Structure 1
Amino acid sequence: MRIVFRCDPALAEHLPRPLPARDALPGWLKAMPAKAFSESHGREIRTVKQCPPFVDAMTHGFVMPLPCDVRIEKDAVAWDWDIPEPATAGHPRAPLSFHVAEQFAGAPFANGRSALKFNSFWTVELEPGWSLYATHPVNRDDLPFRLLTGLVDSDRFQDGGINFPAVWVDPDFTGLLPKGMPVAQCFPVSRAGLDLVCESFDPARQAAYAGTVAQVLTKPGIYRKQFRAKRRE
């Protein structure tokens, strides 16, 4: 899957580039032990660090990084970012803008406060028939905001930036959002139609189900060793 990112020529040397999600894993996952003692089990059990679906979701696609440090204080957002004036008409210069609270009236995530909008400094071009799924960085509940998920037909919309709105989930947060912090995790999805087929197990599928479950319950790493597809670097 070829993905092309483009930016304003005056800003090219000032912007952190989109990067594979596998290169933006959080420190807490790296520091997590592979096993931890469970009072319920009375022994050590494997943590989610050894769960391929959990980790593969976090490493899937690419992330869009925050282009500069942003300071969050009570009722104030500030940054120091010395960049040239963009050479392209209508191009943003600020890393953030805002959505007023009324734009989310009635939504379950509405909290009466304005939402952040992380401005994009990169356009995204996908191959024909593919859309860009943009969501909150996967399993990143440590971040003080939640990105709102969106789907953009980036095989067609490829000459304008995709901005990323987010709501605050930690109203008391003060501190620094550091340059390079992932604000969105994105991956291409096909627009091909779905053909949903629901069936009952036949005897062969019943036997396969029972055998697979027995292996998973008795031997560690069955999914990783026998079923997990190799990830391309």
Structure 2
Amino acid sequence: MSLPAIKARCHPALEALLPKPVAAKRALPDWVRAMPSEAPSAVLEGAMVRTVKHCPPFLDALSLGILIPLACDLHFEDGAVRWDWDFPPLPDTLISRAPIGMHVPEQATGAPWPLAVNSVLKFMNFWALEAPPGWSLLFTHPMNREELPFRTLSGVVDCDSFRDGYVHFPALWTERDFTGVLPAGTPVAQVIPVPAEVPGLEVGVMDADQVAANRGVQEELGREAGVYRKRYRR
């Protein structure tokens, strides 16, 4: 049975202006599509090895949930950021006109975060998100996207009830000397539905049958490529 959809809504005057959220599985990064399936390994004296393009858990993480895009082009130069977009007057709302904000560094006092600039940036989100009843939304850095010059901080919001507000995305800027354009549509957060009621945890040891089953899985994985994808992946 499929879950109800996450609903994303924007102010009607912004519909034609904003890049729209997208299912993450439809927006895999170009470098994943371009990377080879196999590559020679210097460690293994030139033997061919499979790349992460063959790793279902890696690809499933990239494909999970939805991506929220950057609202407009951001231009970075000499430690400053600017933007230019035709944001309309919106007298019926208090939403920010700026696509980016900031937290002063003192708000991160005690956190082990290396700040490449003297503040924590905040990507402004112009989409109100509604989760299905009984679900919360995990907002985090786009999975496995280490090429991005920032790292979005993670947070969970009860968007089944907080469905009429905006969730914005604090981010650490990780490239001090970055110069250039961060284009509109760049994914700035990955949104993953999680149950509002978190399952408990049971810790124990395997019984004899479980030890035997575990050994069987290990042998199967060592004997045949693609076992997880073919037999265990939903």
Q: TM-score, normalised by structure 2?
A: 0.94
2:26 and 2:82 map into 1 onto residues whose CA distance is: 27
Residue 197 of structure 1 and its aligned partner are, at CA, apart by 1.5
What letter matches 2:99 in structure 1? P
Q: List aligned pairs for 1:114-129, cutoff 5 A.
A: 114-129=119-134
Cα distance in 2 for residues equivalent to 1:73 and 1:84: 26
What is the alpha-carbon distance in structure 2 between the residues aligned to residue 44 and residue 23 of structure 1?
Answer: 29
CA distance in 2, matches of 1:115, 1:201: 45
Matches within 5 A, 1:206-225: 206-225=211-230
Structure 2 vs 1, CA of residues 160 and 62 (structure 1 numbering), >3 Å: closer, same or farther?
same
Q: Which residue of 2 aligns with 1:22?
A: 25
Give the C-alpha shift of residue 224 in structure 1.
Answer: 0.3
Counterpart of 1:108 in structure 2 is: 112
CA contact (8 A) 1:25 1:58 kept: yes
Q: Which one-letter code corresponds to 1:12 in the other structure?
A: E
- Does residue 72 (structure 1) correspond to residue 76 (structure 2)? The answer is yes
Question: Aligned partners of 2:163 and 2:114: how far apart in 1?
Answer: 30
Note the residue ranges of structure 2 that are not aligned, 5 or more in a row.
none
Q: Percent identity?
A: 47
What is the letter of the counterpart of residue 72 of structure 1? F
What residue is the counterpart of 1:63 in the other structure? Answer: 67
- What CA distance in whole angstroms lies between the structure 1 residues aligned with 2:201 and 2:121? 37
| CA distance, structure 2, for counterparts of residue 62 and residue 107 of structure 1 | 28
Matches within 5 A, 1:1-233: 1=3, 2-42=5-45, 43-111=47-115, 113-229=118-234
Report the more deviating stretch, 163-172 or 75-84.
Answer: 75-84
Listed as ranges, the gaps of 5+ residues in structure 1 are none
The aligned length equals: 229
C-alpha contact 2:169 2:189 (8 A) present in aligned 1: yes
The offset of 1:220, in angstroms, is 0.4
- Measure the CA separation in 2 of the matches of 1:64 and 1:86: 22
Q: SS in structure 2 opposite 1:10?
A: helix
Give SS of 2:12's match: coil
Q: Which amino acid aligns with 1:191?
A: A
Deviating beyond 4 angstroms after TM superposition, the runs of 4 or more aligned structure 1 residues are none
> Which AA in structure 1 matches 2:171?
A
- Alpha-carbon distance, 1:87 to partner: 4.7
Contact 2:79/2:177 (8 A) holds in 1: no
| Alpha-carbon spacing, 1:84–1:95, altered in 2? closer, same or farther (3 Å) | same
With over 3 angstroms needed to count, the CA separation of the structure-2 counterparts of 1:98 and 1:212, relative to structure 1, is: same
Q: Which amino acid aligns with 2:176?
A: P
What is the CA-CA distance between 1:113 and the residue it aligns to? 1.2
- The CA RMSD measured in Å over matched residues stands at 1.2
The normalised TM-score by structure 1 is: 0.94
Counterpart CA distance in 2 for 1:171 and 1:216 is 43
Distance of 1:193 and 1:137 partners within structure 2: 22
SS in 2 for 1:211: helix
